[in-house]
Structure 1
């Protein structure tokens, strides 16, 4: 069963349309899926008694993933322009 929207939002602004086209692409969705998967793996790797360098690496990776997910959110806000 495939659900289809009744109406498809397509922005008129050329810049917004480019961002909308990018965030609706299959490639973008796959990239975000891989990032979510990698983030889940890094969160699952944390354990009791981990070394300081490992702790630093995990903190750094968490900040990187947070930054990437924030960029995704901003792109989608630009693309779908809240009313």
Structure 2
């Protein structure tokens, strides 16, 4: 992973958003696969743009999934305490 991609990840981490190295590797794999399928020729230039969007999309989906899980637990009568 190049420095530009590391800076993107570190930006989220310094904001207190946890993203593991394994998650970063999955996102990087997804980006490479998308570029392969789309036959992107200048991958080095395009990768940071795609990676930044895919990290944001991943974190958004993770947040939606967490809220959905919490609502499901509440609907089942399981007590959920929110951290503030």
User: If you compute each CA radius of gyration, which structure gives the higher value, 1 or 2?
Assistant: 1
TM-score (norm 2): 0.39
TM-score (norm 1): 0.39
